[in-house]
C-alpha cells in the first residue's frame, strides 16, 4: 500500500492558476476494515480477508467505517468552483479572507476555451464557440479584470477598507485559497457527483485531481471498490 507521507505537501496544478495540496490524513484502508471489525472486537486478518471485507462494506453500503478516515486539503480555486463546492455541507471549511489579505493582479481565472450553452440541459455546457469570438471575449475579459483591479487598488490607496475595496473585483473569477476537510464516505459522495460527465468542468477537474493524485494512491482498496460499486454501479 502507498505511503501516505509521500503525498503530504504534494501540489497538483489545476486550471490556469489553481492547485491542490494534501495537508493531512487520518487512517487508511486498514483503518476502515478495523472500524468495521470493532463490532466483534476483531482486527486485521491479512490482506486477502481485509480487502474482501472492505469490498463487502461498500457493495452493501455499510458506510460508517469509511467515516473513520479523513483527508484535509489546501486548495486554490476561483469563486465559481467554491460556489459549488460549498454546497457539500459535510465538508469543513476555512477560507482566505479578502478582509485581511489583499488580492494580487493575476488572482483571476481565465478559461482556455469558451463553452456553448447546452440546448438540452439548462445548467450545462456543450461544445465550444467560434475561436475568433473566443479570442475577442478573452481580450474583453482581461480588460475587465485590469479595470476592476485598478479600481480595487485605487480604493485601497484612498484608504478604503479591504472588505469594501474588494467589491471592485470580478466576483466569480477571483481565486481564493481554502483549507477543506471531510471523511472518506462523504468524499466519495463528492467525487461521484463532481467527476460525473454532467458536472461543471471547472469543479470536475478539481475532483478528478483529488481522486487521481491523492485518494487513489492513499486508499487503493477503497478506490478499487469505489470504481466497481459506485462509479460503475455494478
How far from 210 is each of 25, 105, 138, 223, CA to CA, in Å?
13, 28, 28, 12
Q: Is residue 160 located within the same domain as residue 196?
A: no
Give the pLDDT mean for 63-68: 96
Q: End of a domain among 168, 185, 207?
A: 168
As beta bridge partners, residue 72 has 24, 181
Give the pLDDT band (50/70/90) at residue 233: very low
Going 141 to 143 to 146 to 148, the CA torsion angle's sign is: negative
What is the per-residue pLDDT across 165-210, written as a single tens digit (0 to 9) for each? 999 999 999 999 999 999 999 999 999 999 998 899 999 999 999 9
- pLDDT higher than 70, residue 40: no
pLDDT for 69: 98
What is the per-residue pLDDT across 103-141, written as a single tens digit (0 to 9) for each? 999 999 999 999 998 888 777 788 999 999 999 999 999
Q: At what angle do helices 201-210 and 184-194 cross, to 10 degrees?
A: 140
Distance CA 230, CA 234 (A): 7
pLDDT for 6: 86
pLDDT for 122: 73
Q: Is residue 40 located within the same domain as residue 149?
A: no
Indicate whether 107 belongs to any domain: no
**End-to-end Cα, the chain, rounded Å:** 25
Indicate whether 217 belongs to any domain: yes
Cβ atoms of residues 95 and 211 within 8 Å: no
Distance CA 207, CA 204 (A): 5
Ramachandran bin of 181, using left for φ above 0, alpha for ψ from -120 to 50, beta for the remaining angles? beta
Indicate whether 55 belongs to any domain: yes
CATH assignment at residue 214: 3.30.1360.170
Indicate whether 102 belongs to any domain: no
The closest of 102, 79, 82 to 91, measured between CA atoms, is 82
What percentage of the chain has pLDDT greater than the value 70? 96
Structurally, how many domains does the chain consist of?
2
Indicate whether 109 belongs to any domain: no
- pLDDT higher than 90, residue 42: no
- pLDDT higher than 80, residue 44: no
Cβ atoms of residues 197 and 112 within 8 Å: no
Q: Is residue 91 located within the same domain as residue 179?
A: yes
Query: What is the domain extent for residue 138?
Result: 115-168
Indicate whether 222 belongs to any domain: yes
Distance CA 135, CA 114 (A): 9
More confident: 16 or 197:
16
For the chain, counts of helices (H) and of strands (E):
9, 7
**pTM confidence score:** 0.92
Q: End of a domain among 168, 187, 206?
A: 168
Quickly count: other Cβ atoms within 10 Å of residue 79's Cβ.
16
Which residue numbers are catalytic? 194
pLDDT for 1: 45
More confident: 99 or 45:
99
Q: Is residue 8 located within the same domain as residue 89?
A: yes
Cβ atoms of residues 26 and 66 within 8 Å: no
Amino acid at each position: 500500500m502507498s505511503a501516505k507521507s509521500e503525498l503530504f505537501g504534494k501540489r497538483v496544478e489545476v486550471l490556469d492558476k489553481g492547485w491542490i495540496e494534501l495537508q493531512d490524513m487520518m487512517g487508511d484502508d486498514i483503518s476502515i476494515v478495523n472500524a468495521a471489525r470493532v463490532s466483534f472486537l476483531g482486527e486485521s486478518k491479512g490482506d486477502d480477508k481485509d480487502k474482501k471485507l472492505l469490498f463487502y462494506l461498500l457493495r452493501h453500503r455499510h458506510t460508517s467505517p469509511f467515516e473513520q478516515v479523513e483527508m484535509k486539503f489546501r486548495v486554490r480555486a476561483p469563486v465559481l468552483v467554491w460556489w459549488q463546492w460549498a454546497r457539500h455541507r459535510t465538508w469543513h471549511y476555512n477560507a482566505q479572507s479578502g478582509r485581511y489579505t489583499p488580492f494580487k493582479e493575476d488572482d483571476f481565472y481565465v478559461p482556455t476555451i469558451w463553452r456553448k450553452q447546452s440546448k438540452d440541459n439548462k445548467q450545462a455546457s456543450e461544445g465550444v464557440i467560434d475561436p475568433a469570438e473566443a479570442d475577442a471575449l478573452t481580450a474583453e475579459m482581461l480588460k475587465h479584470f485590469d479595470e476592476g483591479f485598478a479600481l480595487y487598488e485605487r480604493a485601497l490607496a484612498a484608504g478604503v477598507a479591504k472588505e469594501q475595496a474588494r467589491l471592485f473585483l470580478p466576483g466569480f473569477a477571483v481565486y481564493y485559497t481554502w483549507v477543506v476537510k471531510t471523511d472518506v464516505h462523504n468524499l466519495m459522495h463528492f467525487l461521484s457527483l463532481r467527476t460525473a460527465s454532467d458536472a461543471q468542468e471547472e469543479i470536475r477537474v478539481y475532483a478528478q485531481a483529488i481522486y487521481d493524485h491523492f485518494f487513489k494512491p492513499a486508499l487503493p482498496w477503497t478506490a478499487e471498490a469505489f470504481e466497481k460499486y459506485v462509479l460503475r454501479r455494478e
